[in-house]
């Protein structure tokens, strides 16, 4: 590896030397910054690019999916409890007649003939008592039919023809134990999980960067004290604290990401401190000091741009950690409350219904896992791109 | 060496004190109490209960009382499991959790280490890519997804293993929880080992070993792996914490009477002493474990000395 | 040592080495022929990137995994190039051994010296561990390690760089090799240590009779030890022959350029009437070592009571080995470190001034660093780097004026101003050092402290930088404090010289006094070890 770098350096030396000789003074040549190089390396990384596409798609679906979906995330379809995922529309052909019969029974009507003509059903019904025209509502109230009409009422009001359109609905991901559309719920859960992931990460990063940079930049005794505090905090069983917080102070969305963020800042603080210390020792910072550049200028022009890389990498790797932590709390029943939901909540419900309704686990798991997978690959890709000698 | 260990143990006392204090007041300022049941108790009964558990005294007094009893290693009576003291509950549940955690840790180190080394030796070849993809999958799939799937597969459909329970620690009862608990850690250890192993294989002293015609066993195991294992050893501390978190889930899913399950039950039922006791015991374990890890590190790396 | 009867032990025929990289194939070695006879010392000379190391790495089967080889490496009538590791391991480490440039990292930090020395003997010689350890002790004695009985159980981190290189040499001799490849074995060492290691190698070769292939960029070493020389440039051998012939009648232009690359010339002294610009009185710097949180600290005196004065236009060379405190002195003079004593610049005492008070003075006193890779902020363009000082000291300038000044500064150091929007990593080492000089010159300073400004550069580039510094001094009447371990460069640039050792001044005087008639033993040893080319010329003449 070393030898390789040396070889590259020479090649570079020669090309730049020729550049000096040939390029005439005039329009200044545009340089390639390290960020440009990193971006190119990242874009050359197929796994990372694919992951970015996956992540963006999931994010877009989570944001716009619930708006575009035909179902609202907490609409309950009592006739479609735990129906399997299907590309075909519900009701299925064999469900139409029993569905109609049960609605008729509720309307206290006896069905004499039942015919299906395309997307409508026509039935002759009779009743012992007078047929109330409002009994069509029993059919409309069912999730299977709509636009029910009563016609051909007989003179004695004892028989009539009921005509109803079949109300076709799609449940591409199936429905849950309450008869809610899993697809919309998965999308809305994505919103929640991604938001928690981002917010908690922002909290953790802000605390960590501030703390770490202060500690590293000040150095000396203060640095030692501040890092000692971090060491002590490291030995606290934090997950237990989070559980305590959530249990005793109620399951509050805001509290949740503050708690998670407060737990996860320690690593960031250590990374940023180490980075700041290293950069502070770099000759280019000493050179700036020798030039008489003030502290602010050194931090702004030299330290921050060079700590940014590891922070970005850590951020991409922290988001999945936070999402996992949230879903873990949700699994213990300490997460987001109904009817709102998150991937963790959906997965824990799915896990309980695995035997009867595997689709309840499969779809949220696919979304969660691909998000985490994508974030991990992007994080790895970014690390390789920003620090190519690392691997 | 002995001085160092003693120093570290003494240094842990303020940390533990801090933990006890923070968790004590955190629990107490929260609304609700252990006897706020759905159907309220009679005032007289409530009063008696409060007296027995010293809840009628000022908070400050309760805190001092608790400190005293903790100093005597007595965690007090449980509020929820009325017939037991916390010490009795721990005597029963702690060994189970420790066995579970240690087995998972060993499994993770052995399997993860082997996977990581084999990936490093085949860097950027198909075997490497598949191991690393599997490892990423291992990190990303939550264990409460893995657990029901494994249970369904091996427990329900194939019927090879029991689906839950501890059964006094019978081997077949351990397999599923230990494997599920270890899976994410296997993945992390494999990734870590691969990274540090690749670096070690490129280092100058391994080049020396190759230049001197040493056998591949000596190059890989004696010279590269011993150095490469150091970052993994440093990870053991955080790994122990991760296993604790994981075991809360695993114990709940598989119905194992370990300390994690008690903690969740305790927290949900405001069992003050149980929650506090768990936090203190777990913190002790984390501290002790970190000390052991540091000593192990010194054993492996002659440049680190504690004297 | 010329003799036709000696047989060839190793011959490299038309060796090519390619590296596959993300940006394309790099042809590091392009058809090299090298023949080594038993018992002779062959030097392979070239600057960094000439492929000299890669040639031998390829022969030993030690290339990085993206390296590919073609050609032949014949040892004892057999082509060993591309042999599987199992077969190659019968030869490497036993019959052909190698020592490396990086003594600090070439030994495994986790095992004792004894164990590492014993390993090749156990593997190749079939010795028991006990017998191997006993032989390891003999080897340590052979390479003159002090207290071998104790050191055999020591870990590498407990030894100095020179001692570690001795251990590597001991390891290379363990199985009586036919060929010893030494890849820049003394480059990372101080000059005095370097001389000792070279003497040791020469002595061992005389006693044990193996052939030595010595890879180096240092012509002084070549002249001192080699029988024959191969000169390499960009992956090819451009010239080869007997050492005397190469040095006296170099045929190839590149060889001549290498030989001419030794810095020459002499600084004209400044008249005594010029005013004193900088005066240092009893400057001391102390560092606290090992200061733990509540631990008693141990104090190291890095600079101990040093006084000197410097007239305008003068150059003071400060010479010393690593750890002598010369760089610390340079920073203390600029008040970049808290120091005791008194420094007077332009009649103004600067010791004890705060950073804010110093800011106005910084314009006139500048610092140039050794490492041209580390001293330029990697995420700023060259233009930004050069004009950063202007933002501090001439805030009245607008962006365009700053840009103009940066262009002028670049032209002054012979770089194309059109490259000012490029980033440091796009430049070579020599160019970066020019950028660092431009950053200093744009402020038009009076005093420049140069901390080993040429040490990280190849000789030919070094010469250009030395000349640039000399021209700039002439043009602007600059005063230099020139810190270096490289006596040849110091001699070419300085009026007066100060020799430092362990924080103290050993000897000080004019260039001629120090180099022609050194008084202290340490100075004599330094000059003797440095193999100054001018001196050698005189000796041979």
Across C24-142, the runs of DSSP E, i.e. the strands, are 24-37, 41-45, 67-75, 78-79, 96-99
Q: Does B130 touch chain A (CB under 8 A)?
A: no
DSSP characters over A251-265: --HHHHHHHHHHHHH
DSSP characters over A198-233: HHHHHHHHHHHHHHHHHHHHH-HHHHHHHHHHHHHH
- Is the model more confident about B83 or about B102? B102
- The reported pLDDT for the residue numbered C41 is 93
How is residue C374 written in tokens?
């580390």
Per-residue pLDDT tens digits for C362-421? 889 999 988 777 888 888 888 889 999 898 888 888 889 999 999 999 998 988 888 888
CA distance B301 to chain C (A): 6
**Contact across the interface for C108 and B301, Cβ inside 8 Å:** no
Cβ neighbours of residue B163 under 8 Å, at least 6 residues apart? B151, B155, B156, B176, B254
Q: Does B144 touch chain A (CB under 8 A)?
A: yes
> Of A317-321, B21-25, B108-112, C17-21, which has the strongest mean pLDDT?
B108-112
CA distance A201 to chain C (A): 26
Of A1, A237, A328, the CB nearest to B286: A237
User: How many Cβ pairs closer than 8 A exist between chain B and C?
Assistant: 78
**Contact across the interface for B142 and A347, Cβ inside 8 Å:** yes
CA distance B170 to chain A (A): 25
- The reported pLDDT for the residue numbered A12 is 38
**Contact across the interface for A9 and C389, Cβ inside 8 Å:** no
Q: Does B272 touch chain A (CB under 8 A)?
A: no
Q: What is the mean pLDDT of residues B45-56?
A: 75
Of B205, B212, B226, the CB nearest to C93: B212
- The reported pLDDT for the residue numbered A3 is 39
Q: Does B259 touch chain A (CB under 8 A)?
A: no
Of the residues A230, A244, A324, A380, the best mutation for testing chain B's interface (the one with the most B CB atoms within 10 Å of its CB) is A244
C30 Rama class: left (phi>0) / alpha (psi -120 to 50) / beta: beta
Per-residue pLDDT tens digits for A322-367? 888 888 877 777 777 777 888 888 888 888 887 788 888 888 888 9
**Contact across the interface for C93 and B215, Cβ inside 8 Å:** no
Of A249, A344, A347, the CB nearest to B30: A249
Helix (H) or strand (E) holding C215: strand C211-216
Contact partners of A by the rule of 3+ C-beta pairs under 8 A?
Answer: B, C
From the list C490, C424, C427, the residue with the least C-alpha distance to C462 is C490
Helix-helix angle B226-254:A238-249, to 10 degrees:
30
CA distance A287 to chain C (A): 6
Residue C8 to residue A215: CA distance in whole angstroms? 63
Taking all residues of chain B, what is their mean pLDDT, rounded to a whole number? 83
Q: Running DSSP on this structure, what letter comes out for residue A339?
A: T
Q: What is the mean pLDDT of residues B26-44?
A: 70
CA distance A92 to chain B (A): 29
CA distances (Å), B204 to each of A2, B193, B211, in order?
10, 19, 10
Q: What is the mean pLDDT of residues A272-292?
A: 86
How is residue B172 written in tokens?
């077949």
**Contact across the interface for B205 and C109, Cβ inside 8 Å:** yes
Task: Judge whether C326 and C500 are in contact, CB under 8 Å.
Answer: yes
Contact partners of C by the rule of 3+ C-beta pairs under 8 A?
Answer: A, B
**Contact across the interface for B218 and C123, Cβ inside 8 Å:** yes
Of the residues C58, C93, C101, C110, the best mutation for testing chain B's interface (the one with the most B CB atoms within 10 Å of its CB) is C110
From the list B257, B280, B278, the residue with the least C-alpha distance to B266 is B278
Q: What is the mean pLDDT of residues C171-176?
A: 90
**Contact across the interface for B214 and C90, Cβ inside 8 Å:** no
- The reported pLDDT for the residue numbered B209 is 92
Of the residues C17, C23, C49, the best mutation for testing chain A's interface (the one with the most A CB atoms within 10 Å of its CB) is C49
**Contact across the interface for B212 and C157, Cβ inside 8 Å:** no
3-state helix, strand, coil in chain C (%, to 5): 40, 25, 35
Of the residues C18, C66, C254, C377, the best mutation for testing chain A's interface (the one with the most A CB atoms within 10 Å of its CB) is C377
- The reported pLDDT for the residue numbered C468 is 92
Angle at C181 (CA atoms; ends C177, C185), nearest 5 degrees:
125
**Contact across the interface for C388 and A28, Cβ inside 8 Å:** no
* pLDDT bucket at A14, cuts 50 / 70 / 90: very low
**Contact across the interface for B290 and A235, Cβ inside 8 Å:** yes
CA distance B141 to chain A (A): 6
The Cβ-side half-sphere exposure at C332, using a 13 Å CA radius, reads: 28
Q: What is the mean pLDDT of residues C421-447?
A: 89
CA distance A54 to chain C (A): 26
Q: What is the mean pLDDT of residues C315-329?
A: 88
CA distances (Å), C472 to each of C310, C445, C449, C482, in order?
18, 11, 14, 14
- The reported pLDDT for the residue numbered A169 is 82
Instruction: Answer yes or no: is pLDDT of C537 > 80.
Output: no
Taking all residues of chain C, what is their mean pLDDT, rounded to a whole number? 87
**Contact across the interface for A31 and C19, Cβ inside 8 Å:** no
Per-residue pLDDT tens digits for B120-149? 998 888 888 899 888 888 887 888 888 888
* pLDDT bucket at C264, cuts 50 / 70 / 90: confident
**Contact across the interface for B204 and C110, Cβ inside 8 Å:** no
CA distance B222 to chain C (A): 9
Contact partners of B by the rule of 3+ C-beta pairs under 8 A?
Answer: A, C
Complex ipTM: 0.79
Per-residue pLDDT tens digits for C52-99? 889 999 999 888 888 899 999 999 888 998 888 888 888 998 899 999
**Contact across the interface for C93 and B211, Cβ inside 8 Å:** yes
Residues in a beta bridge with B160 = none
Residue C243 to residue C255: CA distance in whole angstroms? 12
Lowest mean pLDDT, pick from A77-86, A191-200, A264-273, B294-303: A77-86
**Contact across the interface for B213 and C100, Cβ inside 8 Å:** no
- Is the model more confident about C508 or about C537? C508
Task: Judge whether C425 and C385 are in contact, CB under 8 Å.
Answer: no
* pLDDT bucket at A24, cuts 50 / 70 / 90: very low
Tell me how far apart the 2 most distant CA atoms of chain A are, in Å. Answer: 108
**Contact across the interface for B140 and A369, Cβ inside 8 Å:** yes
Of B15, B142, B195, the CB nearest to A324: B142
CA B258 to centroid of chain Cα atoms: 12
Tell me how far apart the 2 most distant CA atoms of chain B are, in Å. Answer: 85
**Contact across the interface for B248 and A354, Cβ inside 8 Å:** no
Residue C56: closest C-alpha in chain B: B211
User: How many Cβ pairs closer than 8 A exist between chain A and B?
Assistant: 108
Per-residue pLDDT tens digits for A128-163? 877 777 777 777 777 778 778 777 777 777 778 888
CA distance B54 to chain A (A): 20
Instruction: Answer yes or no: is pLDDT of A76 > 90.
Output: no
- The reported pLDDT for the residue numbered A48 is 86
- The reported pLDDT for the residue numbered A344 is 84
According to the 3-state scheme, what is the secondary structure of C479-539?
EEEEEECCHHHHHHHCCEEEEEECCEEEEEEEHHHHHHCCCCHHHHHHHHHHCCHHHHHHH
Of the residues B11, B204, B208, B297, the best mutation for testing chain C's interface (the one with the most C CB atoms within 10 Å of its CB) is B208
Instruction: Answer yes or no: is pLDDT of C217 > 80.
Output: yes
* pLDDT bucket at C532, cuts 50 / 70 / 90: low
Q: What is the mean pLDDT of residues C446-459?
A: 88
Per-residue pLDDT tens digits for C111-163? 999 999 999 999 998 899 999 999 999 999 998 888 899 989 999 988 888 88
According to the 3-state scheme, what is the secondary structure of chain B?
CHHHHHHHHHHHHHHHHHHHHHHHHHHHHCCCCCCCCCCCCCHHHHHHHHHHCCCCCCHHHHHHHHHHHHHCCCCCECCCCCCCEHHHHHHHHHHHHHHHHHHHHHHHHHHHHHHHHHHHHCCCCHHHHHHHHHHHHHHHCCHHHHHHHHHHHHHHHCCCCCCCCCHHHCHHHHHHHHHHHHHHHHHHHHHHHHHHHHHHHCCHHHHHHHHCCCCHHHHHHHHHHHHHHHHHHHHHHHHHHHHHHHHHHHHHHHCCCCHHHHHHHHHHCCCHHHHHHHHHHHHHHHHHHHHHHHHHHHHHCCCCCCC
Taking all residues of chain A, what is their mean pLDDT, rounded to a whole number? 78
Q: Does B137 touch chain A (CB under 8 A)?
A: yes
**Contact across the interface for C418 and A24, Cβ inside 8 Å:** yes
CA distance A372 to chain C (A): 28
- The reported pLDDT for the residue numbered A17 is 38
**Contact across the interface for A332 and B252, Cβ inside 8 Å:** yes
The Cβ-side half-sphere exposure at C113, using a 13 Å CA radius, reads: 33
**Contact across the interface for B249 and A328, Cβ inside 8 Å:** yes
Per-residue pLDDT tens digits for B150-202? 888 887 788 777 777 777 777 888 888 899 999 988 988 998 899 889 888 88
Q: Running DSSP on this structure, what letter comes out for residue C227?
A: S
Contacts of A328 in chain B (CB under 8 A): 142, 144, 245, 249
Contacts of B135 in chain A (CB under 8 A): none
**Contact across the interface for C155 and B302, Cβ inside 8 Å:** yes
């Amino acid at each position: 590896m070393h030898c390789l770098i040396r070889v590259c350096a020479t090649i570079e030396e020669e090309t730049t030397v020729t550049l000096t000789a040939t390029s005439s003074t005039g329009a200044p040549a545009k340089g390639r910054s390290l960020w440009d190089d990193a971006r190119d390396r990242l874009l050359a990384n197929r796994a990372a690019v694919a992951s970015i596409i996956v992540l963006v798609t999931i994010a877009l679906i989570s944001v716009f999916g619930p708006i575009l979906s035909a179902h609202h995330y907490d609409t309950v379809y009592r006739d479609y409890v735990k129906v399997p995922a299907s590309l075909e529309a519900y009701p299925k052909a064999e469900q139409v007649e029993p569905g109609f019969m049960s609605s008729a029974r509720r309307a206290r009507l006896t069905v004499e003939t039942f015919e299906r003509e395309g997307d409508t059903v026509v039935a002759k019904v009779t009743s012992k008592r007078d047929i109330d025209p409002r009994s069509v509502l029993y059919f409309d109230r069912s999730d299977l039919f709509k636009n029910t009409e009563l016609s051909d009422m007989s003179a004695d009001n004892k028989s009539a023809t009921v005509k109803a359109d079949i109300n076709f609905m799609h449940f591409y991901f199936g429905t849950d134990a309450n008869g809610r559309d899993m697809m919309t719920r998965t999308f809305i859960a994505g919103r929640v999980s991604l938001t928690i992931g981002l917010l908690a990460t922002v909290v953790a990063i802000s605390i960590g960067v501030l703390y770490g940079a202060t500690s590293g930049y000040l150095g000396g005794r203060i640095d030692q004290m501040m890092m000692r505090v971090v060491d002590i905090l490291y030995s606290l069983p934090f997950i237990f604290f989070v559980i305590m917080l959530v249990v005793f102070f109620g399951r509050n969305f805001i509290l949740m990401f503050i708690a998670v963020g407060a737990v996860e800042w320690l690593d960031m603080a250590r990374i940023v401190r180490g980075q700041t210390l290293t950069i502070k020792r770099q000759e280019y910072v000493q050179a700036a000091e020798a030039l008489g550049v003030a502290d602010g200028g050194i931090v702004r022009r030299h330290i921050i741009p060079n700590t940014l890389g590891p922070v970005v990498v850590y951020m991409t790797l922290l988001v999945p950690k936070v999402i996992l932590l949230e879903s873990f709390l949700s699994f213990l029943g300490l997460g987001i409350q109904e009817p709102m939901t998150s991937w963790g909540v959906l997965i824990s419900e799915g896990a309980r219904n695995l035997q009867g309704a595997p689709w309840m686990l499969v779809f949220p798991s696919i979304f969660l896992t691909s998000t985490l997978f994508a974030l991990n690959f992007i994080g790895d890709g970014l690390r390789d791109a920003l620090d190519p000698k690392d691997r | 060496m002995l001085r160092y260990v003693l120093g570290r143990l003494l240094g842990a006392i303020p940390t533990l004190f801090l933990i006890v204090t923070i968790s004590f007041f955190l629990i107490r300022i929260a609304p609700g109490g252990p006897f706020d049941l759905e159907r309220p108790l009679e005032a007289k009964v409530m009063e008696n209960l409060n007296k027995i558990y010293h809840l009628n005294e000022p908070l400050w007094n309760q805190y001092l009382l608790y400190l005293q009893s903790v100093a005597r290693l007595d965690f007090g009576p449980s509020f929820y499991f009325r017939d037991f003291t916390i010490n009795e509950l721990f005597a029963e549940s702690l060994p189970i959790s420790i066995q579970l955690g240690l087995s998972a840790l060993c499994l993770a180190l052995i399997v993860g280490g082997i996977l990581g080394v084999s990936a490093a030796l085949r860097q950027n070849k198909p075997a490497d890519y598949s191991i690393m993809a599997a490892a990423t999958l291992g990190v990303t799939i939550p264990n409460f997804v893995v657990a029901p799937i494994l249970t369904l597969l091996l427990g329900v459909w194939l019927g090879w293993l029991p689906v839950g329970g501890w059964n006094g620690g019978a081997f077949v009862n351990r397999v599923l929880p230990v494997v599920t608990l270890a899976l994410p850690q296997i993945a992390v250890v494999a990734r870590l080992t691969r990274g540090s192993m690749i670096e070690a294989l490129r280092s100058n002293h391994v080049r020396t070993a190759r230049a001197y015609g040493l056998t591949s066993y000596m190059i890989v195991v004696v010279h590269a792996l011993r150095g490469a294992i150091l970052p993994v050893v440093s990870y053991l501390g955080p790994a122990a914490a991760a296993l604790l978190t994981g075991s809360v889930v695993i114990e709940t899913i598989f119905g194992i009477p370990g300390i994690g399950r008690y903690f969740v039950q305790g927290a949900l039922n405001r069992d003050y002493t149980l929650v506090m006791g768990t936090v203190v015991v777990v913190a002790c374990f984390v501290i002790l474990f970190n000390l052991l890890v540091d000593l192990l590190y010194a054993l492996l790396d002659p440049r680190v000395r504690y004297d | 040592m010329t003799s036709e009867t000696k047989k060839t032990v190793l011959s490299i025929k038309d060796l090519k080495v390619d590296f596959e990289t993300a940006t394309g194939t790099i042809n590091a070695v392009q058809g090299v022929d090298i023949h080594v006879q038993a018992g002779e010392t062959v030097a392979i000379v070239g600057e960094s990137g000439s492929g000299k190391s890669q040639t031998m790495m390829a022969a030993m089967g030690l290339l990085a995994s993206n390296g590919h080889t073609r050609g032949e490496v014949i040892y004892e009538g057999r082509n060993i190039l591309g042999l599987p590791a199992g077969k190659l391991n019968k030869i490497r480490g036993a019959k052909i051994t190698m020592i490396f440039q990086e003594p600090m990292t070439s030994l495994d930090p986790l095992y004792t010296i004894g164990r590492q020395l014993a390993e090749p003997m156990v593997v190749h010689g079939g010795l028991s561990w006990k017998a191997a350890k006993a032989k390891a002790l003999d080897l340590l004695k052979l390479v003159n390690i002090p207290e071998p009985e104790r050191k055999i159980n020591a870990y590498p981190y407990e030894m100095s760089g020179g001692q570690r290189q001795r251990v590597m040499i001991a390891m290379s001799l363990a199985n009586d090799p036919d060929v010893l490849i030494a890849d820049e074995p003394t480059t990372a060492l101080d000059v005095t240590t370097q001389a000792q290691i070279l003497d040791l190698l020469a002595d061992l070769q005389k006693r044990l009779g193996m052939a030595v292939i010595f890879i180096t960029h240092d012509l002084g070493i070549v002249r001192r030890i080699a029988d024959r020389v191969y000169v390499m440039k960009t992956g090819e051998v451009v010239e080869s022959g007997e050492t005397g012939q190469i040095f006296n009648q170099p045929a190839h232009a590149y060889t001549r350029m290498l030989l001419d690359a030794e810095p020459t010339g002499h600084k004209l002294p400044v008249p005594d009437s010029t005013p004193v610009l900088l005066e240092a009185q009893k400057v001391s710097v102390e560092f606290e070592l090992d200061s733990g949180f509540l631990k008693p600290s141990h104090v190291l005196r890095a600079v101990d009571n040093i006084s000197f004065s410097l007239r305008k236009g003068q150059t003071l060379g400060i010479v010393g080995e690593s750890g002598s405190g010369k760089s610390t002195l340079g920073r203390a003079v600029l008040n970049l470190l808290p120091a005791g004593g008194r420094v007077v610049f332009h009649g103004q005492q600067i010791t004890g001034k705060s950073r804010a008070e110093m800011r106005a003075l910084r314009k006139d006193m500048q610092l140039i660093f050794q490492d041209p890779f580390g001293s330029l902020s990697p995420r700023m363009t060259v233009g930004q780097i050069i004009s950063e000082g202007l933002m501090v000291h001439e805030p009245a300038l607008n962006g365009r004026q700053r840009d103009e000044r940066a262009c002028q500064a670049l032209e002054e150091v012979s770089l194309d101003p059109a490259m000012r929007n490029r980033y440091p990593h796009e430049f070579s080492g020599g160019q970066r050092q020019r950028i660092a000089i431009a950053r200093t010159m744009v402020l038009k300073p009076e005093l420049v402290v140069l901390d080993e400004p040429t040490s990280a550069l190849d000789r030919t580039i070094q010469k250009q930088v030395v000349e640039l510094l000399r021209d700039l001094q002439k043009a602007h009447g600059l005063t230099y404090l020139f810190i270096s371990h490289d006596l040849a460069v110091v001699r070419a640039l300085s009026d007066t010289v100060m020799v430092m050792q362990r924080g103290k001044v050993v000897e000080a005087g004019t260039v001629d006094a120090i180099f022609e008639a050194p008084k202290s033993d340490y100075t004599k040893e330094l000059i003797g070890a440095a193999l100054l080319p001018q001196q050698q010329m005189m000796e041979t003449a």
